[in-house]
Structure 1
Amino acid sequence: MELICDSPAHKSVPDKYVLPLEKRPCSHELLEDLSVVLPVIDLQGALGEGRRQVVGEIMEAGKEFGFIQVVNHGVAEDVIQGFREVAAEFFKMPEEEKLRYYSSDHTKPCRVFSGSLTSHNDANDIRYWRDCLKLRCYPIDKMMHQWPSHPAMFRECLAKYAVAVQELARRFLQLIAKGLGFDNQDFFEGDLSGGETLMNVNYYPPCPDPSLTMGIRPHCDRHLLTILSQGDVSGLQAKHRGRWIRVQPIHNAFVINFGLQMEIVTNGLLPSVEHRAVTNSAKARMSVASLIRPKIDCTIGPTPTMFNEETNPPKYKDFTCSEFTEAYEAAAGNREAVLDFFKIHHTPS
């Protein structure tokens, strides 16, 4: 029961963090073409006459990359930095304070853990180079009493941040609904985005040899939408046309990406893209991911306006959010395996 950030400074990567050769972050996989960068979209234009243009930019970037960086998003800098500062303080607290929250029980509303297994059946127990504080953070009136009470301002700062990010998610989903041509801009309100919002505060200590391990394995998010504050230290990479691209940090920007459930709701139009976190030897890195989720008993499937039985038939069958969670766990998060659970295999006429 140990966090990496509480360990003495490592001169080498301990064996349990060393990935098999085929899982290591090979440099030849990284696309260095400087013309391929993640689009940065200014959301301020969506408040006025530029709304249609912003919607178009979001849809174009979403179809091509599945990832978007947004600036002028309406979340105040002091709210973002206020929570990032107390979250960083949390990981600097004495070991015994953090270990009060240590748990491998995935049902706990607030827990700390270190690394994550490469698979559920990995006998060698190989782990990734990160510590994580996982929280249920919204609605705050139901969740706040379960959050850490230290550092002193933690609950107050998280409450402000969670409310502001939830509002950003609501406005962004309205823009997506418009871009999809839905008559109702509040299409995603209610069941599709009304589940408890989860938050992963990921802390990546400096790593003595980043070529041997990773912070988080390649994966696709399972939920509707992820809103990420990645800070000012690089580490996030997204898959683009078979190669990895760096998601360069922009101060106070948010990175927004679609989950597998969004891909299914849009019948494949807005893809959920594989991404990973790499480490570095010089600086600690911290990212804050807010996961916007449907209600657990919500029925999910392709929206009728997104398919046509003759020319563009539905690619997936309907399912409940709980059924999707079971499939995701069974497939250990593998994108193609998860989607195959729900794929409709059409026979040629």
Structure 2
Amino acid sequence: MATTVAYDRVTVLKAFDDTKTGVKGLVDAGITKIPPFFVHPPEKPTSKPPATLHIPIIDLDGVAADAGKRAEAIRMMVGASETLGFFQVVNHGIPLTVLDEMVEGVKRFFEGDVEVKKAYYTRDTSKKVIHNCNFDLFRAPAANWRDSFLCLMAPEPPLPEEVPPACREIIFEFADYVKKLGLLLFELLSEALGLNSDYLKDIECAKGLNVVSHYYPPCPEPELTFGNGRHSDPDFLTILLQDQIGGLQILHQDQWCDVPPTHGALVINLGDILQLITNDKFKSVEHRVISKSVGPRISVACFFRTFLHTSSRLYGPIKELTSSEKPPLYKEVTVKDYVSYFNSKGLDGESALDHFKI
């Protein structure tokens, strides 16, 4: 019986995936009940009800030239990185017009011609441009209510003609700004760790960039599923652009806390591999996106990592951050192997970091 049930689930998932229309296709078809494979089992209960948490907003204006402003930004960054794993940045150098156009470009792609979108739909992770619904559709315990579009923008971006016309121009412009912001953030984080400002850049933390756009259609039964289930990010750093719909929550002190969107601000969260190399000094915090009956919600997550780059560099706890009193907590691992493990298990609610502990 168990084999039959498992076979039926795989058959249903394959039939859904073969449509190449994702969650958007279900909504366009007018469904009023979500398919069973989107229904999530009850999460482990937290001890406190959801709340709204103040996420520090760090002003980056003048940090390159003004020592006082730089010191204040780093002070706030240390506090946020050691406790929340999240902070926001303003005056980050990316014009508001670029942020707004990036959101619109994502919307144009997902709400555009179905046949055009199907041409990009794939589960071939060797491609630089990937459209699909749930990277872990066939592995995770339940699917998330979202469609995604990934572009590998560094170290070797796709050719312009490989990117959909609906968002082609803006995604290259946006990625150029994000790469510059990423370098600045890694400088400040290096100094926040008491290291040379180029330390994290020199070990290639900023070398790889994936820009992943998510489209969360309105859900007819939002209480039964998630837009993105509980997870932490398998990277060094994530820069998140989100629209004004909201839905992002982080887990803090055993409590899910809302992260209300602030127009023009970017949400920054630290990834698993940064927690690994800082030997738990900086935290990669679990977060999720709740489903809503309104929408669509659009977000663009920019992941700094090198796993699609042919790097064999091993990452382990930074020697300057370890001692006899604070011995290394993790084994060395390549980013490729870390992400491969993360992807193989899917978003199952468990941290991939535990697998690499000594």
What is the match of residue 342 of structure 1? Answer: 356
SS state at 1:283 partner: coil
Measured on the aligned residues, the alpha-carbon RMSD in Å equals 2.3
Deviations 1:138-184 (A, max 9, x none): 246x4233642322xx22211110010110010011011111111x2
Partner Cα separation in structure 2 for residue 161 and residue 40 of structure 1: 21
Query: How far did 1:332 drift?
Result: 3.5
Partner Cα separation in structure 2 for residue 275 and residue 263 of structure 1: 15
Query: How far did 1:219 drift?
Result: 0.6
Partner Cα separation in structure 2 for residue 258 and residue 321 of structure 1: 15
Aligned pairs (5 A) from 1:19-38:
19-20=40-41, 22-23=42-43, 30-32=49-51, 34=52, 36-38=53-55
What is the match of residue 208 of structure 2? Answer: 196
Alignment match of 2:163 (pick from 142, 148, 163): 148
Alignment match of 2:144 (pick from 128, 131, 135): 128
Q: Is the 8 A contact 1:221 1:259 kept in 2?
A: yes
Partner Cα separation in structure 2 for residue 190 and residue 335 of structure 1: 32
What is the match of residue 299 of structure 2? Answer: 287
Query: How far did 1:267 drift?
Result: 0.7
Alignment match of 1:321 (pick from 327, 331, 335): 335
TM-aligned CA distance change 1:212 to 1:166, over 3 Å: same
Query: How far did 1:40 drift?
Result: 1.5
Q: Is the 8 A contact 2:136 2:347 kept in 1?
A: no
TM-aligned CA distance change 1:97 to 1:27, over 3 Å: farther
Query: How far did 1:107 drift?
Result: 2.2
Normalised TM-score (structure 2): 0.86
TM-aligned CA distance change 1:195 to 1:297, over 3 Å: farther
Deviations 1:232-267 (A, max 9, x none): 110111110111100110002111111110001111
What is the match of residue 218 of structure 1? Answer: 230
Q: Using the TM superposition, name which of 130-139 and 263-272 deviates more.
A: 130-139
Identity of aligned residues (%): 30
Gaps of 5+ in 2: 1-18
Alignment match of 1:75 (pick from 68, 91, 94): 94
Deviations 1:68-103 (A, max 9, x none): 111111111112112221111011111111011111
Alignment match of 1:93 (pick from 96, 107, 112): 112
SS state at 1:192 partner: coil
Query: How far did 1:339 drift?
Result: 2.4
Normalised TM-score (structure 1): 0.88
Deviations 1:253-305 (A, max 9, x none): 11111111000111101111111111111221000001001353222011111
Alignment match of 1:157 (pick from 170, 175, 179): 170
Partner Cα separation in structure 1 for residue 263 and residue 225 of structure 2: 27
Q: Is the 8 A contact 1:231 1:252 kept in 2?
A: no
TM-aligned CA distance change 1:333 to 1:268, over 3 Å: farther
Query: How far did 1:342 drift?
Result: 2.4
- Structure 1: which amino acid aligns with 2:292? N
Gaps of 5+ in 1: 345-349
How many residues matched?
332
Q: Is the 8 A contact 1:79 1:161 kept in 2?
A: yes
Q: Is the 8 A contact 2:24 2:147 kept in 1?
A: yes
Flag as ranges the 4+ runs of structure 1 deviating above 3 A. Answer: 26-30, 115-119, 144-147, 329-337
Partner Cα separation in structure 2 for residue 255 and residue 147 of structure 1: 28
Query: How far did 1:188 drift?
Result: 1.3
Partner Cα separation in structure 1 for residue 170 and residue 191 of structure 2: 32
- Structure 1: which amino acid aligns with 2:188? L
TM-aligned CA distance change 1:261 to 1:121, over 3 Å: closer
